[in-house]
Structure 1
Amino acid sequence: MKLLVRHQTVYRYAASAGRVAMRLKLMPVDTPAQTVLEWQVSVNGEPITGFHPNSYGEREAIWIRHDRLDHATIVAEGLVDTRESHGVVGHLSSRVDTRYFLRDTSLTRASAGIAAMARDLPEQDGPLATLHALSAAVSDAVQYRAGVTTSNTTAAQAFALGAGVCQDHAQVFIAAARSIGIPARYVSGYLLAGDGDALHETHGWAEAYLPQLGWIGFDPSNRVCVTERYLRVASGLDADEAAPIRGSVTVAGDIWIDADVRIAQAEDGVEQRQLQKQQQQATPPDSEA
């Protein structure tokens, strides 16, 4: 399946910013489940070419401006050929030992309740079946409900609340998997969720590692292993580390953020300029670059 993506994020500053620095994890790489055919990233219309491999085998870049700035428009767009792998991403190139992904973070530290959920799963036929059962258990324990959590909500808090969004589902799954000795990490990317529907947000899910298979993607929010409708971009110990954009700014006053993702199946005849036109029409006039 060929997925066509245009991801636009606009930062607007109430007062001109004196310095802006951003870490961009917006460049997908080839895996056994996807091949990047075309991709580019730009900030305020200027292409970003300084993407370099990080220790995870993914690519990231740093963008810095020291002059006065009233907005920053980041656009990632391209075409990726994805393949059905039944969730198995495999043994990806990385300089990091998989045991590193047993580490807790403040967002993914397992509470007693999360650890008990993982420990008390019915006996399964091997670790892969255990992971499938764990994904289902997370879906049952944390109902999908938008607006009740934030990007700072921890796995323990979402589990206690019993509600959250894809970030919360993934981080509860990660915390639970690590509590029973299975390395797990957060993945950010895109999901083509419905036939003919081109408007989506970024999506988050989890990967767990089994030596015989490598990394396997689980999406508790949708109760599936990842499919060819998923486009993988970046990973990390938690959602914060895997975020597509992270930065700092020196500015007096408020900052507004407007993010929008357009994704479509290329075989549907949707051209990139059509996605761009849709996105510009949906962007408020005072947010346009």
Structure 2
Amino acid sequence: MLVRIEHTTQYEYSQPLLTSTQYLRMTPLSGRTQAVETWNLSTPGASTFEWSDQYGNRCHTLTVNKPVSALKVKVSGLVRTRNTDGIVGLAPSELPTELYLRETMYTLCSPAICDFAEPFRKQAESNLIDALHAIMLKIADTVTYSPGDTHVHTTGAEALEQGSGVCQDHAHIFCAICRKLGIPARYVSGYLAADQEHEAHAASHAWAEAYVERLGWVSFDPTNRSSATEAHIRTAVGLDYSEASPIRGVRSGGGVETMHATVAFPGQAQMQSQSHSQ
């Protein structure tokens, strides 16, 4: 499937923004599940420097060195996706899979996470793929998709305990449960380009991948109760949201920041948007 993506993030400030350094992970890479045909990053009034992180994500450091009242970040391009039944495989260069067993602040194994994970242990030992699908579906049944109930700092354990959250929370819970069971798992950020029954969408999407012997990385999207399809476009991976979020950084000045993000898939009659102030 050929997908055209236009993702614009606009920041407005109540006072002059003096300086800002942001780390962008908004550039997809070609691989087994997708081929990037064109991609462009635009940041008017700011400079960018391209680099790759330890996970192989293509990153950019955005720097603002003079006062501004607004900041715009836009990415756009064409990505041709493939249906691989959720199998991502292995990249030519991979970190040791044991790294993806590490707990993070977002994926701490709370008593609730441990209790959730334990019933799947025997199944995971006998049929890992079936167990992973069962975990994915149980998360979807237990944690209702409800935008606004959580925020970017909510942990997987907190979302599980309150019984609601968004795709970021589903991915964190999945990773935490897998790691408790000794299964390497990682967080994935990207886009979902087709209407799905259970996804109300924000400015971007998140899901998870688990490592399975002889298959490599296999994707699981609890929010949509399925493995990743040709509608999923991967932009970054990491241990959790903090390492794979599209935009993350620090600023000086600016007062109150208002953010508005839109994601459009021209030709598919679909627009997604998200706004917040802080």
TM-score by length of 2: 0.90
Name the Cα RMSD after superposition.
Answer: 2.3
Displacement of 1:118: 1.6
Structure 1 pair 263–194 and aligned structure 2 pair: CA distance change class (3 A): same
| Runs (5+) with no aligned partner, structure 1 | 285-289
- Matches of 1:147 and 1:69 in 2, distance apart? 30
Kept in 2, the 8 Å contact 1:117–1:137? The answer is: no
Structure 1 pair 64–252 and aligned structure 2 pair: CA distance change class (3 A): closer
Aligned equivalent of 1:287: none
Aligned equivalent of 1:225: 227
Displacement of 1:9: 0.3
Displacement of 1:45: 7.0
For residue 86 of structure 1, give the secondary structure of its aligned residue in structure 2. coil
Displacement of 1:149: 0.8
Structure 1 counterpart of 2:219, which letter? G
Displacement of 1:47: 8.3
Aligned equivalent of 2:61: 62
For residue 248 of structure 1, give the secondary structure of its aligned residue in structure 2. strand
For residue 96 of structure 1, give the secondary structure of its aligned residue in structure 2. coil
Structure 1 counterpart of 2:228, which letter? V
Determine if the alignment matches structure 1 residue 164 to structure 2 residue 165.
yes
| Runs (5+) with no aligned partner, structure 2 | none
Aligned equivalent of 2:78: 79
Aligned equivalent of 1:101: 100
Kept in 1, the 8 Å contact 2:47–2:64? The answer is: no
- Matches of 1:100 and 1:283 in 2, distance apart? 33
For residue 106 of structure 2, give the secondary structure of its aligned residue in structure 1. coil
The count of corresponding residues between Structure 1 and Structure 2 is 269
Displacement of 1:176: 0.3
Structure 1 counterpart of 2:241, which letter? A
Kept in 2, the 8 Å contact 1:18–1:66? The answer is: yes
Displacement of 1:263: 1.8
Structure 2 counterpart of 1:164, which letter? G
Aligned equivalent of 2:252: 250
Alignment of 1:1-289 (within 5 A): 1-44=1-44, 48=48, 50-121=49-120, 123-124=122-123, 125-194=126-195, 201-264=203-266
Kept in 1, the 8 Å contact 2:45–2:71? The answer is: no
- Matches of 2:188 and 2:45 in 1, distance apart? 27
Deviant stretches of 4+, over 6 Å: none
For residue 224 of structure 2, give the secondary structure of its aligned residue in structure 1. coil
Percent of residue pairs bearing the same amino acid type: 37
1:251-280 alpha-carbon deviations (Å, 9 max, x no partner): 05211111111124x6x6x8xxxx9xx89x
- Matches of 1:243 and 1:200 in 2, distance apart? 13
- Matches of 2:72 and 2:254 in 1, distance apart? 19
Structure 1 counterpart of 2:225, which letter? R
1:121-171 alpha-carbon deviations (Å, 9 max, x no partner): 285341111111111111111111121111111111111001111111111
Structure 1 pair 61–252 and aligned structure 2 pair: CA distance change class (3 A): closer
- Matches of 2:75 and 2:111 in 1, distance apart? 40
TM-score by length of 1: 0.87
Kept in 1, the 8 Å contact 2:28–2:234? The answer is: yes
- Matches of 1:166 and 1:70 in 2, distance apart? 31
- Matches of 2:85 and 2:109 in 1, distance apart? 27
- Matches of 1:89 and 1:36 in 2, distance apart? 15
Displacement of 1:216: 0.9
Structure 2 counterpart of 1:168, which letter? D
